[in-house]
């Protein structure tokens, strides 16, 4: 490590930093996982510099930990074995936008909001929105998604191609710019979600979407989580295209009301968005209203007014902060699981009951169109007993999701935090196959070791 | 091989066949590639039998060639090194349909038409439709798509999970039944498109779609391929959701008119389908009509009448036969490439010009929403000079697509036929990575050797 440090310092000067504060900022700090700082942080500016860094690290068997915006939730940026954090901050250029093809090529440090700002005048947008303003390289690495996934998919659906530097220093281009291909193994999707354990993403070709002519939003309260989920299932079977369907449980609604000055009924609530033509979104909202009423909805409102829509969705996006404000002197510990839609109501209800049983506060937010939901546990700071309870709860929840044919992680990745459940979820065969691939691509195990496997 | 033959004969009795006619039926016969028959064909009935077959073959280093419906086009089912064809014909059960979750679990020998027949009363359908009634295992293996891909994606988008027998005999489940997951490497999508070179698919969990309330179809003639492509680009940017957009060039229209007794204008033509509500599909067709007129469309008609819609789409689906009827004593040699949409008009036009220049007949059909198009070359039977010309044309076309940032194969796979272009398309880095994965998963190279790599 000392040798690598010397070489990087000489080569990158001030763009290589071993200061304590920089190192600590690059370790994971936002969940129950302890922070594990890297030995140094380097800020490359192009793919050739990334190759150099990889070669230097490989020569000396020093771990490489890729770093985007540091918003991941399962310890992805921790350095359990030490090593070099490769921060993509300076690789933040939008390289090209092909409006006719509705795609673009970006460097990995571009954030999703920066990309959408860049696209402002094109009539196009990039639809994947996890809560945080994550970097696109990081979003690809963790197979991120968010509220739009029910309509626009996850990162696996919008990454057309990647350029990555492999542990050998070789540069791989996974695909070309065609929208569709059947040319060999799907390396694009193998890299998406590989959490930096196979290579360092240095460029992304992304599919964009035309901004719809019109959008409408609806809020709709239900007597129970079950009634809300049944309404969603019925709506899908109706073939109604929804752009977003978010579930808030009663406790989340209470938090949001308090935080955002709203007066929504404090029962389970769905927040929806429809994208289409003016007539289309009006019709869709009306149809959904009927389905909702059939499922016992007590209040239903919809709007196409941009200010009103923004106000509603801002409240949803602020839900994390609203929930934190429920217990301001606590740490928030966010987790997520995903189950088949038919099991969602039961999964959410049991999650709430278990929280109550063990005496934890854990409001639920759900991307209900995908069967994906988040529990945000509020843990008194420095309270080891409560933290232990929370860790037990996380295991319980992961196992619940797996027992329902679901996954222990819908959109946060495995990282360090969910490694214990991977084999329970997929079986030894799949984990052995992942390990075989990892060993083949990264025989020295220098790429983000200690994550996923 | 002789030992394996004896063991399989003893174990599987009449379900193992080494007869010449059975072997020849299992070799590839429909393109310019010479047929290479396997040494025997076995018909397993469940995953345990597949494991047995794989173990027997692995013990004796005998190649395994998976076989679905035999409709692939790039030599996937050929046995260049001999070995055992594993025909999934008897593994043809739909194991479960989860209507609320809109998914199903099937064995690999179920064909797409059989699945849709099974789903008849559920309000759901399986949307991927390559021309042939392929098996779902085969469609996953070649990452198939078809006319609906612009709306519903390709096999990579609808396969939620796979079960496969690895060369080691181990059974891998790639994912569970959740619609979304970020749990480790995306083995599902690594297996989809791997053409049987990594393992034998023994079960698929597939995403289904609600049958839309209404469908409308439109036909629309254009003065040139360029005008048609420009209309499609404009329509996308308008955000109009199209379920299908098929291009026929003038020669294809002529063939279809003659074959199906239609009287479409013999100029480039788009055939479209819209899915949605009654009002939605009417509005979408009308909007497209306006866009088309802006781009010089000379004739535009639309209908929601089922009989009329069926007649139009039947003509499209019969186009392959219509084209063959242009020169009844010829062989048809179908190829496909895919380019970014902005290059499609130029790619199609140059493909036509090159055909004319070298004196071949090659009408063009395109899944134009994806930038994907097929050229069907009509080659006089037993005419070695014309076959040689056709082979040269195929190389020329693959290189053209690659030069336009596209792919040499949009939906037919690499197989044997396109191996020569893989490195030109993706570079040595990607091909090396594929090779490393192949070697790690199948160190004895027994799974469909001689395909892709």
pLDDT at position A329: 87
Task: Give the other-Cβ count within 10 Å of A310's Cβ.
Answer: 12
User: Which pLDDT score, from 0 to 100, does residue B314 have?
Assistant: 87
B87-91: long-range pairs with CB below 8 Å, 24+: B87/B26, B87/B41, B87/B42, B87/B43, B88/B44, B88/B135, B88/B137, B89/B43, B90/B15, B90/B43, B90/B44, B90/B45, B91/B44, B91/B45, B91/B46, B91/B137, B91/B202
CATH code for the structural domain at A91-210: 3.30.465.10
User: With bands split at pLDDT 50, 70 and 90, how would you rate the model's confidence at A239?
Assistant: confident
Within 10 angstroms of residue A103's Cβ, the number of other Cβ atoms is 24
pLDDT tier, B64 (very low <50, low <70, confident <90, very high otherwise): very high
Share of chain A above pLDDT 90, in %: 88
Strands A214-221 and A269-276: antiparallel
Number of helices (H) and strands (E) in chain B: give both, helices first. Answer: 16, 18
> Strand B124-125 vs strand B209-210: parallel, antiparallel, or unpaired?
antiparallel
A270, A271, A253: which is closest to A262 by C-alpha?
A253
pLDDT score, position A409: 98
Report the residue of chain B nearest A343, measured CA to CA. Answer: B101
Q: Which of A279, A371, A422 sits opposite B179 (nearest CB)?
A: A371
Partner residue opposite A338 with nearest CB, options B157, B180, B239: B180
Subunit contact B426:A236, Cβ cutoff 8 A: no
Decide if pLDDT at B73 tops 70: yes
Across the range A99-103, mean pLDDT stands at 96
Say if CB A194 and CB A101 are below 8 A apart.
no
Judged by CB atoms closer than 8 Å, whether chains meet at B210 and A237 is answered as yes
Long-range contacts (CB closer than 8 Å, 24 or more residues apart) made by B374-377: B374/B334, B374/B335, B374/B336, B375/B334, B375/B335, B375/B336, B375/B351, B376/B320, B376/B323, B376/B324, B376/B332, B376/B333, B376/B334, B376/B335, B377/B332, B377/B333, B377/B334, B377/B335
Tell me which chain B residues have a C-beta less than 8 angstroms from the C-beta of A427: 171-173
| Alpha-carbon span B188 to B143, nearest angstrom | 11
Q: Output the pLDDT for position A30.
A: 67
Rounded to the nearest 10 degrees, what angle do helices B344-358 and B384-403 cross at? 160
User: How buried is residue A13: exposed, middle or buried, by Cβ count under 10 Å (0-12/13-18/19+)?
Assistant: exposed
Q: Find out whether B181 and B175 touch, Cβ atoms under 8 Å.
A: yes
Q: Do B340 and A103 make contact, defined as CB atoms within 8 angstroms?
A: yes
Say if strands B299-303 and B330-338 run parallel, antiparallel, or are unpaired: unpaired
Checking if the pLDDT of A72 tops 90, the result is yes
- Given strand A103-106, what is the order of strands in its sheet? A94-98, A103-106, A200-207, A159-165, A171-173
Q: Cα(B160)–Cα(B163) distance, rounded to whole angstroms?
A: 11
Q: Taking residues A103-107, report their average pLDDT.
A: 98
In this prediction, residue A32 has a pLDDT band, given cuts at 50, 70 and 90, of confident
A122 vs B178: CA distance, rounded Å: 35
Cα separation, A7 vs A132, in Å, equals: 34
Structural element, H or E, at residue B245: strand B244-248
Q: Report which of B279, B183, B284, B194 is spatially closest to residue B240, judged by C-alpha positions.
A: B284
In angstroms, the separation between the Cα of residue A269 and the nearest Cα of chain B is 21
CA distance A125 to A122: 8
pLDDT for the residue B300: 85
| pLDDT tens by residue, A241-261 | 899 999 999 999 999 999 999
Nearest to A246 by CA among A397, A371, A335, A71: A371
Q: Is the pLDDT of residue A31 over 80?
A: no
Percent of chain A with pLDDT over 70: 100
- Which residues of chain A have a CB within 8 Å of the CB of B187? 430, 433-434
Mean pLDDT of B88-112: 97
User: Averaged over A286-305, what is the pLDDT?
Assistant: 91
What is the rounded distance in angstroms from the CA atom of residue B333 to the CA atom of residue B375? 8
Which pLDDT does position B389 carry in this prediction? Answer: 95
Enumerate the CATH 3.30.70.2740 domain ranges in chain B, comma separated. 327-411
Task: Determine, for residues A184 and B452 on separate chains, whether the beta-carbon distance falls below 8 Å.
Answer: yes
Residue A306 CB burial class (10 angstroms; 0-12, 13-18, ≥19):
exposed
Q: How many CA atoms lie within 13 A of A246 on its CB side?
A: 25
- Name which CATH class applies to B327-411: alpha beta
Distance separating the N- and C-terminal Cα atoms of chain A: 23
User: For residue A135, is pLDDT > 80?
Assistant: yes
Q: Count Cα atoms within 13 angstroms, Cβ side, for A55.
A: 10
Average pLDDT, stretch B189-200?
A: 98
Check if CATH label 3.50.30.50 holds for domain A214-320: no
- What proportion of chain B, given as a percentage, has pLDDT over 90? 88
State the DSSP H helix or E strand holding residue B51, giving kind and residue range, or none if neither. helix B47-59
Instruction: List the beta bridge partners of residue B283.
Output: none
pLDDT in tens, B102-136: 999 999 999 999 999 999 999 999 999 998 999 99
Q: What is the pLDDT of residue B30?
A: 67
Mean pLDDT of B172-192: 98
Q: Is the per-residue pLDDT at A29 higher than 70?
A: no
Q: Could you tell me the two tokens for B196? A: 């049987």
Hey, are the CB atoms on A408 and B183 less than 8 Å from each other? yes
The distance of Cα B202 from the centroid of its chain, to the nearest Å, equals 19
% of residues, chain B, pLDDT over 70? 100
**What's the rounded mean pLDDT across residues A60-88?**
96
The structural architecture, per CATH, of the domain B92-210 is: 2-Layer Sandwich (3.30)
Helices vs. strands in chain A: H and E counts, helices first:
16, 18
CA distance A238 to chain B (A): 7
User: Does the beta-carbon distance from B166 to A433 stay under 8 Å?
Assistant: yes
- Distance from C-alpha of A66 to C-alpha of A142, rounded to nearest angstrom: 12
B-chain CB neighbours of A401 within 8 Å are 178
Tell me the average pLDDT across B181-210: 97
Q: Look at residues B449, B251, B145 and name the one whose alpha carbon lies nearest to residue A181.
A: B145
State residue B29's pLDDT score. 66
Query: What pLDDT, in 10s, does the model give residues B386-403?
Result: 999 999 999 999 999 999
Residue A71 has pLDDT above 90, yes or no: yes
Residues of A in contact with B74 (CB under 8 A): none
- A203-217, A304-318, B165-179 — which is least confidently predicted? A304-318
Mean pLDDT of A34-49: 97
Pairing of β B244-248 and β B269-276: antiparallel
Location of each CATH 3.30.70.2190 domain in chain B: 214-320
Which of the 8 DSSP states describes residue A431?
Answer: H
Q: What is the pLDDT of residue A240?
A: 86
- The Cα A115–Cα A67 span in angstroms is 18
- Which chain A residues are closer than 8 Å to B406 by Cβ? 176-178
Q: What is the DSSP string of A114-130?
A: HHHHHHTTTTEE-----
Helix ranges, A327-418 (H): 341-358, 384-403
**B31 falls in which pLDDT band (50, 70, 90)?**
confident
Give dist(CA A413, CA A436) in Å, integer: 20
Residue A95 has pLDDT above 90, yes or no: yes
List Cα–Cα distances, B293 to A123, B222, B283, B286, in angstroms: 22, 9, 15, 11
Question: What value does the mean pLDDT of chain B take?
Answer: 95
Q: A87 pairs with which residues across the strands? A: A67
> What is the per-residue pLDDT for A237?
84
Across the range A309-336, mean pLDDT stands at 90
Is residue B299 over pLDDT 90? no
Q: How many CB atoms lie within 10 A of CB B13?
A: 8
Residue A144 has pLDDT above 90, yes or no: yes
Phi-psi region of B210 (alpha: psi -120 to 50; beta: other; left: phi over 0): beta
Q: Which residues contact A41 (CB under 8 A, 6 or more apart)?
A: A16, A17, A18, A22, A23, A26, A67, A84, A85, A87
Name the nearest CA neighbour of B1 among B82, B80, B85, B87: B82
Cβ atoms of B189 and B161 closer than 8 Å: no
Q: What's the topology of domain A325-413? A: Alpha-Beta Plaits (3.30.70)
Q: Where in chain A is the domain with CATH 3.30.70.2740?
A: 325-413
How far off is chain B from A439, nearest CA to CA, in Å? 8
> Would you call A429 and B279 a contact, using CB atoms and an 8 Å cutoff?
no
When pLDDT is cut at 50, 70 and 90, the band that residue A382 belongs to is confident
Q: Which residues on A lie below 8 Å from B280 (Cβ)?
A: 276-277, 279-280, 283
Residues of chain B with CATH 3.30.465.10: 92-210
* Min Cα–Cα distance to chain B from A213, Å: 7
Distance between first and last Cα of chain B: 23
Cα(A118)–Cα(A124) distance, rounded to whole angstroms? Answer: 10
Q: Which of B213, B239, B370 sits opposite A210 (nearest CB)?
A: B239
The three-class DSSP label of residue B314 is helix
Q: How far apart are CA B269 and CA B348, in angstroms?
A: 13
Residue A63, SS3 per DSSP: coil
Q: Can you give the pLDDT at residue B175?
A: 98
Contacts of B186 in chain A (CB under 8 A): 143, 156, 186, 189-190, 192-193
């Amino acid at each position: 490590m000392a040798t690598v440090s010397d070489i990087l310092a000489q080569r990158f000067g001030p763009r290589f930093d071993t200061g304590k504060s920089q190192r600590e900022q690059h370790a994971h700090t936002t969940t129950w996982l302890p922070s594990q700082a890297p030995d140094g942080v380097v800020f490359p500016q192009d793919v050739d510099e990334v190759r150099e860094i990889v070669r230097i690290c490989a020569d000396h068997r020093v771990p490489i930990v890729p770093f985007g915006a540091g918003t991941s939730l399962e310890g992805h940026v921790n350095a359990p074995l030490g090593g070099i954090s490769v921060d993509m901050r300076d690789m933040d250029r939008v390289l090209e936008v092909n409006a006719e093809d509705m795609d673009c090529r970006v460097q990995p440090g571009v954030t999703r909001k920066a990309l959408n700002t860049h696209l402002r005048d094109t009539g196009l947008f990039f639809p994947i929105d996890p809560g945080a303003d994550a970097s696109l390289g990081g979003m690809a690495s963790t197979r991120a998604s968010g509220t739009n996934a029910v309509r626009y998919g996850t990162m696996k659906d919008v990454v057309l191609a990647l350029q990555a530097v492999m542990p050998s220093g070789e540069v791989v281009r996974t695909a070309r710019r065609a929208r569709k291909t059947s040319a060999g193994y799907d390396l694009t999707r193998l890299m998406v979600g590989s959490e930096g354990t196979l290579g360092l993403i240095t460029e992304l070709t992304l599919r964009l979407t035309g901004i719809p002519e019109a959008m409408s939003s609806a809020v709709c309260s239900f007597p129970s989580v079950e009634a809300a989920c049944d309404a969603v299932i019925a709506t899908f079977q109706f073939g109604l295209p929804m752009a977003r369907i978010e579930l808030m449980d009663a406790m989340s609604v209470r938090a949001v009301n308090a935080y955002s000055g709203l007066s929504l009924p404090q029962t389970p609530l769905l927040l929806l968005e429809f994208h289409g033509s003016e007539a289309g979104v009006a019709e869709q909202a009306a149809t959904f209203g009927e389905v909702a009423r059939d499922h016992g909805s007590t209040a239903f409102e919809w709007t196409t007014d941009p200010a009103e829509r923004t106000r509603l969705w801002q409240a949803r996006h602020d839900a994390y902060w609203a929930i934190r404000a429920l217990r301001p002197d606590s740490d928030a510990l966010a987790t997520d699981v995903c189950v088949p839609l038919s099991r969602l109501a039961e999964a959410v209800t049991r999650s709430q009951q278990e929280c109550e049983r063990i005496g934890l506060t854990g409001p639920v937010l759900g991307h209900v169109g995908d069967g994906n939901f988040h529990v945000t546990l509020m843990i008194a700071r420095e309270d080891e007993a409560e933290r232990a309870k929370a860790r037990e709860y996380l295991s319980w929840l992961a196992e619940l999701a797996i027992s329902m044919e679901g996954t222990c992680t819908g959109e946060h990745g495995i990282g360090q935090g969910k490694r214990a459940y991977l084999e329970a979820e997929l079986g030894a065969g799949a984990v052995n196959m992942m390990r075989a691939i990892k060993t083949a691509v990264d025989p020295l195990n220098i790429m983000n070791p200690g994550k996923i496997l």
